[in-house]
Every structure is written in structure tokens, then in C-alpha cells.
Amino acid sequence: MDRRFIKSEAKDVLKGNRFILLLIMLLVGFISGAVGATIIGVLLSPLFSTGLFFVIKNLIFKREVVAEYLYKEVKSFDHAAKICAVGLLYGLIIIVGLILFIVPGYIFMYQYYQATRIIAENPDMKILDALKESKELMMGHKGELFVFHLSFIGHAFLIIITFGLYALYFMPYFETADTNYYLHLTRQKRIEEQKYVENTEYGF
């Protein structure tokens, strides 16, 4: 996928929306930080990330920031529990991978990177199926996403030399671009699946 195009789209949707998205991110960060040192905070962290994902997804599609999406797309307690469980499993998989060997840890990180987003968009999906779906979705794209993330390294240096202040400008951009990558990836998968169905129907 064209990472320059994905990043360019992210910049476009942030025009006129960056400040309010930043405020929402700071609010989420404050709430998450307030409980983050506790076991409850660790368990609920995926819910905060999911709320932010839906806010940004709506921004990309409708060009507006709606804070209501922080919670409205989580359909039930069962759905919320699944999101938390997938997020917790994802974290444990990465930790175990990094403890055993560094490289497998990073492979696992990118292999299951989209699992929380997938379960968030599919309330009826089983927990392990979300991990499996992420593995299939990221097949052939793990290195691509790694390079995509690496392309932001210049911003990391700016954050360092500005003692963190630049992060206020950068984080809305990164989160929007990262979400946009996921949306492009899932769209590409749907197109490929449709082509496969059509080719099967016509005997190609």
C-alpha cells in the first residue's frame, strides 16, 4: 500500500479537526493515566484505545470529530469484555515473545496488531477468532507496517529535542495515519475477497 497517500489522507482529515482531536486524546490519556497504575487500568486500557479508534474512524469517513464515539460503538458489557480480553492477550503475547527472543516478539506484535480493532468492529466475533483474523489480515503486511511506523522516526527526534512538546502536534497525526492504514488494509482485503468470489463463480 502507498504509505505516502495514507499519510497524506491523514493530514487532510486533520485540517480544522486537529485541536479537538488532541483534546479528546488528552482526555483519554488523563483518564487512562488516572487508573493506569492499577490492575483495573491495565484491563480497561484497550477500551480507551478502542474509543479513540472509533472517533478517528468517524473523522476519516465524515471529516468531523464526535466525542460520542468514545463509547457509543461498544455495544454491550460482553463486547467490552471481549475488547479488554483481546487487548490483554495481545499484550501477553508480545511480552512472552520479547522474553523468549526479541525478533519473535516484534513479529507477534505486528501479526496481532489489528486484533483489538477487529473485535471492536465485530461484537459477535470470538476472542481467539479476532487474533486469527488479525494474523490473516497482516499476512504479507507485517514488514510493510513496520516500515510505515519507521517512516515517522523523524517526528520522534523532534519530540525529543522539544522535550515532548511536539508530541501534542504529532500524536493526532500518527493515530489518524495508523487508523487510516488499517482502514485501507481491510478495504483491500474486501476487494480481494470479492474478486476471488467472482473468479470462482465464473470458473477462472
* Count of alpha carbons within 13 angstroms of residue 165, beta-carbon side: 3
Q: Tell me, what's the pLDDT at 78?
A: 94
Per the structure, the count of domains in the chain is 1
Q: Tell me, what's the pLDDT at 196?
A: 59
- Alpha-carbon dihedral angle through residues 16, 20, 25, 29, given to the nearest 10 degrees: 150
Answer for the pair 111, 138: CB distance below 8 angstroms, yes or no. yes
179 by Cβ neighbours in 10 Å (0-12 / 13-18 / 19+) ranks as buried
> pLDDT of 8-20, one tens digit each?
999 999 999 999 9
At 66, which amino acid appears?
A: V
Range of the domain at 60: 3-201
Mean pLDDT, residues 42-46 taken together: 83
> pLDDT of 151-201, one tens digit each?
999 999 999 999 999 999 999 999 999 999 999 999 998 888 777 566 666
* Count of alpha carbons within 13 angstroms of residue 14, beta-carbon side: 21
Ranges assigned E (strand) in the chain: none
Answer for the pair 44, 91: CB distance below 8 angstroms, yes or no. no
Q: Tell me, what's the pLDDT at 50?
A: 94
Q: Tell me, what's the pLDDT at 97?
A: 84
> pLDDT of 49-101, one tens digit each?
999 999 999 999 988 888 888 888 888 999 999 999 999 999 999 888 888 77
